[in-house]
Amino acid sequence: MNQNTKDLLKTIADLSSTPTGAFNIRSNGKAIQRQCSENIEIITKEDKTGIDITVKPNTKHESLHIPVVITESGINDLVYNDFEIGANSDIVIIAGCGIHNDGHAKSQHDGIHFFHIDKGAKVKYIEKHYGEGSGDGERELNPTTIVKMEENSYCEMEMVQIEGVNSTIRETTAYLAKGAKLIVIEKLMTHDNQIAHSNMTVYLNGEDSTVQVISRSVAKNDSEQVFHPTVVGNEKCRAHVQCDSIIMDKAKVRSVPEIAANNTDAQMVHEAAIGKINNDQLIKLQTFGMDEEEAEDIIVEAFLN
Protein backbone atom coordinates (compact mmCIF):
# COMPACT_ATOMS: atom_id res chain seq x y z
CA MET A 1 0.00 0.00 0.00
CA ASN A 2 1.62 3.26 -1.12
CA GLN A 3 1.58 6.56 0.79
CA ASN A 4 -1.16 8.10 -1.36
CA THR A 5 -3.41 5.14 -0.64
CA LYS A 6 -2.69 5.39 3.09
CA ASP A 7 -3.38 9.13 3.12
CA LEU A 8 -6.66 8.69 1.26
CA LEU A 9 -7.82 5.93 3.63
CA LYS A 10 -7.11 8.22 6.57
CA THR A 11 -9.11 11.07 4.99
CA ILE A 12 -12.15 9.17 3.78
CA ALA A 13 -12.49 6.42 6.40
CA ASP A 14 -10.37 7.62 9.31
CA LEU A 15 -8.25 4.48 8.88
CA SER A 16 -4.59 4.54 9.90
CA SER A 17 -4.29 0.82 10.47
CA THR A 18 -6.17 -2.34 9.54
CA PRO A 19 -9.73 -1.90 10.84
CA THR A 20 -11.23 -4.25 13.37
CA GLY A 21 -14.21 -6.26 12.17
CA ALA A 22 -15.28 -6.85 8.60
CA PHE A 23 -13.79 -4.77 5.80
CA ASN A 24 -13.14 -4.65 2.07
CA ILE A 25 -10.59 -2.22 0.67
CA ARG A 26 -10.79 -1.52 -3.04
CA SER A 27 -7.90 0.20 -4.82
CA ASN A 28 -7.62 1.14 -8.50
CA GLY A 29 -10.48 -1.14 -9.50
CA LYS A 30 -9.47 -4.23 -7.49
CA ALA A 31 -10.21 -5.54 -3.99
CA ILE A 32 -6.82 -5.48 -2.24
CA GLN A 33 -7.73 -6.52 1.29
CA ARG A 34 -10.77 -8.19 2.78
CA GLN A 35 -11.85 -9.59 6.11
CA CYS A 36 -15.18 -11.13 7.06
CA SER A 37 -16.45 -11.55 10.60
CA GLU A 38 -18.59 -14.27 12.09
CA ASN A 39 -21.68 -12.16 11.46
CA ILE A 40 -20.72 -10.17 8.39
CA GLU A 41 -20.02 -12.01 5.15
CA ILE A 42 -18.48 -10.33 2.08
CA ILE A 43 -18.61 -12.22 -1.22
CA THR A 44 -17.36 -11.11 -4.65
CA LYS A 45 -20.21 -10.88 -7.16
CA GLU A 46 -20.02 -13.34 -10.04
CA ASP A 47 -22.19 -11.60 -12.62
CA LYS A 48 -20.76 -8.09 -12.29
CA THR A 49 -18.13 -6.04 -10.46
CA GLY A 50 -18.81 -5.61 -6.77
CA ILE A 51 -19.62 -7.38 -3.54
CA ASP A 52 -22.56 -8.92 -1.71
CA ILE A 53 -22.56 -8.12 1.97
CA THR A 54 -24.73 -10.09 4.35
CA VAL A 55 -25.17 -9.07 7.96
CA LYS A 56 -26.74 -11.82 10.05
CA PRO A 57 -29.93 -11.00 12.01
CA ASN A 58 -29.31 -9.72 15.54
CA THR A 59 -25.70 -8.68 14.81
CA LYS A 60 -24.98 -5.93 17.31
CA HIS A 61 -22.35 -3.20 17.57
CA GLU A 62 -20.22 -4.32 14.64
CA SER A 63 -18.68 -2.11 12.01
CA LEU A 64 -17.99 -2.63 8.33
CA HIS A 65 -15.40 -0.60 6.40
CA ILE A 66 -15.63 -0.57 2.60
CA PRO A 67 -13.43 2.30 1.37
CA VAL A 68 -12.49 2.76 -2.27
CA VAL A 69 -9.34 4.53 -3.39
CA ILE A 70 -7.99 5.43 -6.80
CA THR A 71 -4.41 6.61 -7.08
CA GLU A 72 -3.83 6.05 -10.80
CA SER A 73 -4.89 8.37 -13.58
CA GLY A 74 -7.37 7.13 -16.19
CA ILE A 75 -9.22 4.61 -13.98
CA ASN A 76 -12.97 4.16 -14.58
CA ASP A 77 -14.31 2.01 -11.77
CA LEU A 78 -17.97 0.94 -11.69
CA VAL A 79 -19.04 -1.13 -8.69
CA TYR A 80 -22.30 -2.70 -7.53
CA ASN A 81 -22.47 -3.35 -3.80
CA ASP A 82 -25.52 -5.04 -2.29
CA PHE A 83 -26.13 -4.96 1.45
CA GLU A 84 -28.50 -7.37 3.17
CA ILE A 85 -28.90 -6.15 6.74
CA GLY A 86 -30.50 -8.82 8.94
CA ALA A 87 -33.44 -8.15 11.23
CA ASN A 88 -32.77 -6.43 14.55
CA SER A 89 -29.08 -5.92 13.84
CA ASP A 90 -27.31 -2.67 14.77
CA ILE A 91 -24.24 -1.82 12.69
CA VAL A 92 -22.07 1.00 11.41
CA ILE A 93 -20.91 1.06 7.77
CA ILE A 94 -18.03 3.32 6.79
CA ALA A 95 -17.78 3.74 3.03
CA GLY A 96 -16.20 6.58 1.09
CA CYS A 97 -14.07 7.14 -1.95
CA GLY A 98 -10.84 9.06 -2.44
CA ILE A 99 -9.12 9.84 -5.70
CA HIS A 100 -5.50 10.98 -6.02
CA ASN A 101 -4.94 11.94 -9.63
CA ASP A 102 -1.52 13.25 -10.69
CA GLY A 103 -2.12 12.60 -14.39
CA HIS A 104 -3.99 14.08 -17.34
CA ALA A 105 -6.70 11.43 -17.75
CA LYS A 106 -9.96 11.40 -15.79
CA SER A 107 -10.32 9.01 -12.86
CA GLN A 108 -13.86 8.05 -11.96
CA HIS A 109 -15.69 5.88 -9.45
CA ASP A 110 -19.41 5.07 -9.75
CA GLY A 111 -20.66 3.15 -6.74
CA ILE A 112 -24.14 1.68 -6.96
CA HIS A 113 -25.21 0.65 -3.48
CA PHE A 114 -28.39 -1.24 -2.71
CA PHE A 115 -29.40 -1.65 0.95
CA HIS A 116 -32.10 -3.97 2.16
CA ILE A 117 -32.62 -3.18 5.84
CA ASP A 118 -34.76 -5.84 7.47
CA LYS A 119 -37.32 -5.39 10.25
CA GLY A 120 -36.09 -3.56 13.34
CA ALA A 121 -32.51 -3.25 12.04
CA LYS A 122 -30.48 -0.12 12.68
CA VAL A 123 -27.80 1.14 10.27
CA LYS A 124 -25.49 4.09 10.46
CA TYR A 125 -23.85 4.71 7.09
CA ILE A 126 -21.02 7.22 6.60
CA GLU A 127 -19.71 8.03 3.14
CA LYS A 128 -16.98 10.59 2.51
CA HIS A 129 -15.84 11.71 -0.92
CA TYR A 130 -12.56 13.44 -1.57
CA GLY A 131 -10.24 14.28 -4.45
CA GLU A 132 -6.66 15.52 -4.71
CA GLY A 133 -3.62 15.36 -6.95
CA SER A 134 -1.37 17.59 -9.02
CA GLY A 135 -2.65 16.52 -12.46
CA ASP A 136 -5.28 18.21 -14.56
CA GLY A 137 -7.11 14.89 -14.99
CA GLU A 138 -10.62 15.13 -13.59
CA ARG A 139 -11.80 13.37 -10.43
CA GLU A 140 -15.39 12.23 -10.77
CA LEU A 141 -17.57 10.43 -8.22
CA ASN A 142 -21.14 9.35 -8.93
CA PRO A 143 -22.83 7.53 -6.05
CA THR A 144 -26.19 5.84 -6.55
CA THR A 145 -27.82 4.72 -3.32
CA ILE A 146 -31.04 2.72 -3.06
CA VAL A 147 -32.41 1.94 0.38
CA LYS A 148 -35.31 -0.39 1.06
CA MET A 149 -36.35 -0.15 4.69
CA GLU A 150 -38.62 -2.73 6.29
CA GLU A 151 -40.92 -2.24 9.29
CA ASN A 152 -39.50 -0.28 12.21
CA SER A 153 -36.01 -0.17 10.72
CA TYR A 154 -33.79 2.87 11.23
CA CYS A 155 -31.14 4.28 8.94
CA GLU A 156 -28.92 7.32 9.34
CA MET A 157 -26.86 8.29 6.30
CA GLU A 158 -24.14 10.88 6.46
CA MET A 159 -22.95 11.70 2.98
CA VAL A 160 -20.09 14.14 2.75
CA GLN A 161 -18.15 15.60 -0.15
CA ILE A 162 -15.08 17.11 1.51
CA GLU A 163 -13.40 18.73 -1.50
CA GLY A 164 -11.49 18.11 -4.72
CA VAL A 165 -14.28 16.38 -6.67
CA ASN A 166 -14.64 17.92 -10.14
CA SER A 167 -18.00 16.44 -10.91
CA THR A 168 -20.58 14.44 -9.01
CA ILE A 169 -24.09 13.23 -9.72
CA ARG A 170 -25.62 11.81 -6.57
CA GLU A 171 -28.77 9.72 -6.84
CA THR A 172 -30.44 8.57 -3.64
CA THR A 173 -33.74 6.68 -3.46
CA ALA A 174 -35.41 5.27 -0.35
CA TYR A 175 -38.59 3.27 0.28
CA LEU A 176 -39.88 3.25 3.85
CA ALA A 177 -42.27 0.69 5.30
CA LYS A 178 -44.39 1.04 8.44
CA GLY A 179 -42.61 2.74 11.33
CA ALA A 180 -39.31 3.08 9.44
CA LYS A 181 -37.17 6.16 10.09
CA LEU A 182 -34.57 7.62 7.75
CA ILE A 183 -32.22 10.49 8.46
CA VAL A 184 -30.08 11.82 5.63
CA ILE A 185 -27.35 14.33 6.40
CA GLU A 186 -25.69 15.68 3.27
CA LYS A 187 -22.69 17.98 3.42
CA LEU A 188 -21.19 19.20 0.23
CA MET A 189 -18.41 21.59 -0.69
CA THR A 190 -17.51 22.57 -4.23
CA HIS A 191 -14.83 24.94 -5.48
CA ASP A 192 -13.14 26.05 -8.73
CA ASN A 193 -15.22 24.87 -11.71
CA GLN A 194 -16.73 21.89 -9.93
CA ILE A 195 -20.27 20.70 -10.51
CA ALA A 196 -22.46 18.82 -8.04
CA HIS A 197 -25.97 17.49 -8.60
CA SER A 198 -27.85 15.78 -5.82
CA ASN A 199 -31.16 14.07 -6.55
CA MET A 200 -33.00 12.35 -3.76
CA THR A 201 -36.41 10.67 -3.69
CA VAL A 202 -37.89 9.27 -0.51
CA TYR A 203 -41.14 7.30 -0.60
CA LEU A 204 -42.96 7.18 2.73
CA ASN A 205 -45.10 4.13 1.98
CA GLY A 206 -45.70 2.83 5.48
CA GLU A 207 -47.84 4.20 8.31
CA ASP A 208 -45.83 6.33 10.74
CA SER A 209 -42.73 6.33 8.56
CA THR A 210 -40.49 9.37 9.01
CA VAL A 211 -37.77 11.08 7.04
CA GLN A 212 -35.54 13.97 7.94
CA VAL A 213 -33.21 15.41 5.30
CA ILE A 214 -30.59 17.94 6.33
CA SER A 215 -28.56 19.25 3.44
CA ARG A 216 -25.82 21.80 3.94
CA SER A 217 -23.59 23.03 1.20
CA VAL A 218 -20.95 25.59 0.41
CA ALA A 219 -20.28 26.65 -3.18
CA LYS A 220 -17.06 28.55 -3.80
CA ASN A 221 -15.34 30.12 -6.84
CA ASP A 222 -17.13 29.25 -10.10
CA SER A 223 -18.69 26.03 -8.90
CA GLU A 224 -22.32 25.01 -9.43
CA GLN A 225 -24.66 22.96 -7.27
CA VAL A 226 -28.17 21.69 -7.92
CA PHE A 227 -30.31 20.02 -5.25
CA HIS A 228 -33.52 18.18 -5.96
CA PRO A 229 -34.75 16.36 -2.86
CA THR A 230 -38.23 14.88 -3.20
CA VAL A 231 -40.38 13.29 -0.52
CA VAL A 232 -43.59 11.46 -1.39
CA GLY A 233 -45.98 10.80 1.50
CA ASN A 234 -48.32 7.93 0.65
CA GLU A 235 -49.44 7.15 4.19
CA LYS A 236 -49.70 8.79 7.60
CA CYS A 237 -46.12 10.01 7.85
CA ARG A 238 -43.82 12.90 8.67
CA ALA A 239 -41.19 14.56 6.51
CA HIS A 240 -38.83 17.43 7.21
CA VAL A 241 -36.45 18.60 4.52
CA GLN A 242 -34.00 21.39 5.21
CA CYS A 243 -31.51 22.70 2.64
CA ASP A 244 -29.10 25.49 3.49
CA SER A 245 -26.42 26.75 1.16
CA ILE A 246 -23.68 29.32 1.44
CA ILE A 247 -22.79 30.85 -1.90
CA MET A 248 -19.40 32.54 -2.42
CA ASP A 249 -17.45 34.26 -5.20
CA LYS A 250 -19.10 33.52 -8.57
CA ALA A 251 -20.74 30.25 -7.58
CA LYS A 252 -24.33 29.24 -8.43
CA VAL A 253 -26.73 27.19 -6.34
CA ARG A 254 -30.17 25.91 -7.32
CA SER A 255 -32.45 24.23 -4.83
CA VAL A 256 -35.59 22.42 -6.05
CA PRO A 257 -37.14 20.59 -3.14
CA GLU A 258 -40.40 18.76 -3.66
CA ILE A 259 -42.95 17.53 -1.16
CA ALA A 260 -45.92 15.50 -2.34
CA ALA A 261 -48.71 14.58 0.05
CA ASN A 262 -50.95 11.77 -1.19
CA ASN A 263 -52.54 11.18 2.19
CA THR A 264 -54.39 13.55 4.53
CA ASP A 265 -52.21 12.39 7.41
CA ALA A 266 -48.96 13.16 5.62
CA GLN A 267 -47.26 16.04 7.46
CA MET A 268 -44.54 17.50 5.30
CA VAL A 269 -42.33 20.52 5.74
CA HIS A 270 -39.58 21.91 3.63
CA GLU A 271 -37.21 24.80 4.26
CA ALA A 272 -34.48 26.07 1.97
CA ALA A 273 -32.18 29.03 2.19
CA ILE A 274 -29.38 30.28 -0.04
CA GLY A 275 -27.29 33.20 1.03
CA LYS A 276 -23.80 34.54 1.36
CA ILE A 277 -21.57 34.09 4.34
CA ASN A 278 -22.71 35.86 7.52
CA ASN A 279 -21.04 39.26 7.42
CA ASP A 280 -21.27 39.92 11.18
CA GLN A 281 -19.47 36.65 11.93
CA LEU A 282 -16.85 37.53 9.34
CA ILE A 283 -16.15 40.93 10.91
CA LYS A 284 -16.13 39.48 14.42
CA LEU A 285 -13.49 36.90 13.51
CA GLN A 286 -11.42 39.53 11.74
CA THR A 287 -11.36 41.64 14.92
CA PHE A 288 -9.53 38.65 16.45
CA GLY A 289 -6.74 39.20 13.95
CA MET A 290 -7.71 36.72 11.25
CA ASP A 291 -7.59 37.80 7.63
CA GLU A 292 -10.78 37.50 5.56
CA GLU A 293 -9.87 34.14 4.04
CA GLU A 294 -9.05 32.57 7.40
CA ALA A 295 -12.30 33.88 8.85
CA GLU A 296 -14.27 32.49 5.87
CA ASP A 297 -12.65 29.08 6.30
CA ILE A 298 -13.66 28.95 9.97
CA ILE A 299 -17.26 29.88 9.19
CA VAL A 300 -17.53 27.40 6.32
CA GLU A 301 -16.10 24.62 8.48
CA ALA A 302 -18.49 25.42 11.33
CA PHE A 303 -21.42 25.51 8.92
CA LEU A 304 -20.59 22.08 7.49
CA ASN A 305 -19.91 20.48 10.86
* Contact footprint for a copy of itself (CB under 8 A): 233, 245, 247-262, 264-276
Smallest separation, CB 262 to a copy of itself (Å): 5
Q: Which amino acid is at 216?
A: R
Q: Is 299 helix (H, G, I), strand (E, B) or coil?
A: helix
Please give the Cα distance from 277 to 280 (Å, whole number): 9
The smaller minimum CB distance to a copy of itself, of residues 122 and 216, is found at 216
**Minimum CB separation from a copy of itself for residue 112, in Å?**
27
Residue 3 or 264 having the CB closest to a copy of itself? 264
Smallest distance, a copy of itself to C-beta of residue 253, A: 5
Minimum gap (Å) between residue 279 Cβ and a copy of itself: 11
CA angle 90, 96, 101 (to 5 degrees): 170
Q: Which residues pair with 141 in a beta bridge?
A: 109
Q: How far apart are CA 255 and CA 235, in angstroms?
A: 26
Length of the chain: 305
Task: Output 20 or 278, the one with its CB closest to a copy of itself.
Answer: 278
Q: Could you please report the per-residue DSSP string of 140-191? A: EEEEEEEEEE-TT-EEEEEEEEEE--SEEEEEEEEEE-TT-EEEEEEEEEE-
**Minimum distance from CB of 191 to a copy of itself (Å)?**
14
Rounded to the nearest 10°, the torsion over CA 272, 297, 170, 36 is: -130
* Rounded least distance, CB 265 to a copy of itself, Å: 6
CB atoms within 10 A of CB 41: 15
Number of helices (H) and strands (E), helices first, in the chain? 3, 22
Closest approach of a copy of itself to the CB of residue 193, in Å: 15
Q: Measured from the CB atom, is 70 or 239 closer to a copy of itself?
A: 239
Nearest CB to a copy of itself, comparing residues 60 and 250: 250
Whether the CB-CB separation of 86 and 56 falls below 8 Å is answered with yes
Q: Name the residue among 71, 96, 211 with its Cα closest to residue 149.
A: 211
Closer by beta carbon to a copy of itself, 34 or else 270: 270
